[in-house]
Amino acid sequence: MSSRLAVELAGLKLSNPTMLAAGILGLSAASLREAIKQGAGAVVSKSVCLESRSGYCNPAVFQLDNCGLLNAMGLPNPGAKHFAQEIRDFKKDESNAPIIASVFGFSADEFAEAAQILVKGGADAVELNVSCPHVKKTGSEIGQRPRLVSEVVRSVKGAVERPVFVKLTPNVADIAEVAEAAVGAGADAIVAINTVRSMAIDIETAYPVLANKTGGLSGSALKPIAVRCVYQIYEAVKVPVVGCGGIATWQDAVEFMLAGASAVQIGTAIASQGLGVFRSVSNGIDRYVHDKGFRSLKEIVGLSHRR
């Protein structure tokens, strides 16, 4: 891998700027390790809370024509203590890249307690999911209120000595305001974005397609929304921004970097391209940086903001 691609992100060292997004293949040490083997510079786990949850009934995922996926999984997970063991297993492999544990809770204290357990298990950083659009009393119900975001971030920062990433929801009037609240409370990086709240209706049965009725939209339809969010957050805060939403090609990733992303997360594209997407995206970014005459990736981050 070219050294041009190396990234330092809130103190974490990544061999390249591609990361596995939360919730896609992130529930076992084996699948997280496989993502790294196939070229991801870092991995984010499935979101985990204190106690195990079974999530929603099927249909929980629905493929939309050509524009992405709709999901309302309901944040199923085995609970923090159980998942900490997967992190320990992942960490046994010396060559492993950073693992970031995605955490959620139903109060600031629960976020902090789950984060502590996962950091004890070996997580290099935590990502706070204050942005899931389909589970009540957590996720975007927190992420839509800057005061609650501050409370959660402050509580986690007081509990763990690892970088804290905060993943934001686009389902707000002013995402920059929420990013500022997170950074004001100590966030070390912002991840933008989680899915957009949406729904689909089956015209034969005349029922909503998802068992939960509404869910989150991911994939290519999300990309222009996510690029706009990254652009606005980059102007508002000084910490690194990680772009996420509809990235499927190296051109998509470069666009996010020009908007201000220091790294990118990939989720839905894995369903169509497999884990090979990490290598094809990072190789393409490397060629772009080289062909345009830049010495490093850093030089393209936020370049679209120049006057």
Ligand X SMILES: Cc1cc2nc3c(=O)[nH]c(=O)nc-3n(C[C@H](O)[C@H](O)[C@H](O)COP(=O)(O)O)c2cc1C
Instruction: For the CB of residue 73, give the shortest distance to ligand X in the complex, in Å.
Output: 5
Q: Which positions from 55 through 94 interact with ligand X, judged by CB under 6 A?
A: 61, 69, 71, 73, 75
CA–centroid distance for 199 within its chain: 21
Half-sphere exposure of 121 (CA within 13 A, CB side): 27
Q: Does residue 218 touch ligand X according to CB under 6 A?
A: yes
Q: Which position among 244, 254, 281, 285 is part of the footprint of ligand X (CB under 6 A)? A: 244
Which residues share a beta bridge with 103? 48, 128
Collapsing DSSP states into helix, strand and coil, what is residue 178? Answer: helix
Q: Does residue 163 touch ligand X according to CB under 6 A?
A: no
Q: Which position among 36, 50, 266, 277 is part of the footprint of ligand X (CB under 6 A)? A: 266
Nearer CB in complex with ligand X: 199/299: 199
Instruction: Classify residue 59 by its DSSP letter.
Output: P
Instruction: Classify residue 79 by its DSSP letter.
Output: -
Instruction: For the CB of residue 270, give the shortest distance to ligand X in the complex, in Å.
Output: 8
Question: Is 132 among the catalytic positions?
Answer: yes
Nearer CB in complex with ligand X: 27/298: 27
Q: Which of 49, 57, 67, 132 is catalytic?
A: 132
Collapsing DSSP states into helix, strand and coil, what is residue 75? Answer: coil
Nearest-angstrom CA–CA distance, 275 and 230: 24
Q: Does residue 241 touch ligand X according to CB under 6 A?
A: no
Which residues share a beta bridge with 43? 20, 99
Q: Which position among 18, 96, 129, 155 is part of the footprint of ligand X (CB under 6 A)? A: 129
DSSP-derived pairing of the beta strands 99-103 and 42-44: parallel
What distance, in Å, lies between the first and last C-alpha atoms of the chain?
33
Nearer CB in complex with ligand X: 211/294: 211
Would you tell me how many other CB atoms lie within 10 Å of the CB of residue 76?
Answer: 15
**What angle separates helix 277-291 from helix 250-259, to the nearest 10 degrees?**
60
Q: Which position among 133, 167, 185, 208 is part of the footprint of ligand X (CB under 6 A)? A: 167
Instruction: For the CB of residue 24, give the shortest distance to ligand X in the complex, in Å.
Output: 6
Q: Which position among 33, 46, 154, 162 is part of the footprint of ligand X (CB under 6 A)? A: 46
Nearer CB in complex with ligand X: 135/159: 135
Q: Does residue 47 touch ligand X according to CB under 6 A?
A: yes
Which residues share a beta bridge with 263? 242
Nearest-angstrom CA–CA distance, 197 and 216: 5
| Total binding residues toward ligand X, as defined by CB under 6 A | 28
**Site for ligand X, rule CB under 6 A:** 21-24, 46-47, 61, 69, 71, 73, 75, 102, 129, 132, 167, 194-195, 218-219, 222, 244-247, 266-269
